[in-house]
Amino acid sequence: MVTTTNTYQTTRSHELFERAKTLMPGGVSSPVRAFKSVGADPVFIARAQGAYLWDVDGNRYIDYIGTWGPAIVGHAHPEVQQALISAIPNGTSFGAPSCQENVLAQMVIDAVPSIEMVRFVNSGTEACMSAIRLARAYTGREKLIKFSGCYHGHGDLFLVQAGSGVATLGLPDSPGVPSAVTAHTLTVPYNDLPALNAMLAQYPDSIAAVILEPVVGNAGCILPQPGFLAGVRELTHQYGALLIFDEVMTGFRLAYGGAQERFGMDPDLTCLGKIIGGGLPVGAYGGKQAIMEMVAPAGPVYQAGTLSGNPLAMTAGIKTLELLQKPGTYAYLDQITAQLTEGLLDVARATGHTICANQVGAMTSIFFCAGPVTSYETAKASDREKFGRFHRGMMAEGVYLAPSQFEAWFLSTAHTAADIDQTLQAARRVLSQIPQ
């Protein structure tokens, strides 16, 4: 099948985006959707099904964003849809306990090795903010250590610029965030155990928690190097700090039990989101019972939510997790994602481009540099201008990629070998048009 780029029209999307910009800041409800970093305008999506998106101009795309992770069984899966349709007549929100919460809580506890108790919230941002509050209460300490390039939502305490000098000072990287709030947030480079050790040694009795993405998805896909996660676990034990795995992206993606199952790790607290809501707004945090029982009303740490544990979100989450339990799910995701990643490396070689790739399970990224990319600092070596050209070319070919060099790509069980083949053929055409 030959896709001709000169028929690619986005007139209606363009009109809608112009209008949206007068109604909402930047025309979007979340910044990365505006496609600014790839020098393009976004398309407006009319419909999503399986591995595909259709925009308002009728273009179809093979989707490698999957609504930033949740669509791991494909968009609008018929069984998820049916579960939601059956749930709607019972009401969309109760503001009271419901049995669906018990079901999903039990599923999360059974799945994620370190979680003994869980609290549902409405987003990954809330999960991370709440986990830090809890860690501070539990340890009676105030400081936290994060890693540059890791994203933990838009809570004030996480908006700290990564970068050597500024890092230790904990200066906020968004106006509107008081420096008093971020003064307790310390940043070290990912995959750098000596730097973490030095930071802990500098504040031996003040670090409440070390939080990280066990596989980074928010600086492009970056893998923990062998021994890194185990080293972080050892150091946090040594200094009496809690270890928080932010598995909002990796939970139920890298394995049914998340990165901690895949890498055999035992964090104290875990943040979840994305997949566990099956495409509806959900987050969760959980961990050891002795820590979780400090959360109100069992304990004194306040945290609440009008729509938390929402019955529709629980329903979509339950059905999505049930679908993921089918034997062979994760082997298939690994295989199809490896096929895409290795294919892209081949295509780049054939067209004379230097790229490197990081992949684990159904998460992957290519970087336009020789690599290896092991941190946000090394990811910045990528040729972002070239990535922008690649992205725009792939859109015109009907392939919808994350609109930034610093975002991972996500595959789903709905992606087929034929989708990967089409994607690779498109990549070959696009890369051969881009000067090396």
Ligand X SMILES: *Cc1c(COP(=O)(O)O)cnc(C)c1O
Active site members: 151, 246, 274
Sign of CA dihedral 229, 232, 237, 243: negative
Shortest separation between residue 358's beta carbon and ligand X, angstroms = 16
- Closest contact distance (angstroms) between CB of 155 and ligand X is 9
Nearer to ligand X, 50 or 251 (CB): 251
Beta carbons of 387 and 405 less than 8 angstroms apart: yes
Taking the complex as a whole, the smallest distance from the CB of residue 270 to ligand X amounts, in Å, to 11
- Footprint of ligand X (CB under 6 A): 123-125, 128, 151-153, 213, 217-218, 246, 248-249, 273, 283
Closer to ligand X by Cβ: residue 285 or 390: 285
Nearest one of 372, 374, 367 to 353, comparing CA atoms: 367
Of residues 287 and 398, the one with the C-beta less far from ligand X? 287
Q: Which is nearer to ligand X, 218 or 413 (CB)?
A: 218
Q: State the nearest-atom distance from the C-beta of 193 to ligand X, in Å.
A: 21
**Residue at shortest CB range from ligand X:** 124
Structure tokens at 290: 């002795």
Q: Which is nearer to ligand X, 125 or 308 (CB)?
A: 125
Q: How far is the CB of 277 from ligand X (least distance, A)?
A: 9
Q: What is the nearest approach in angstroms of ligand X to the Cβ of residue 247?
A: 7
User: Smaller CB distance to ligand X: residue 35 or 151?
Assistant: 151
How many angstroms separate the CA atoms of 431 and 352, rounded? 9
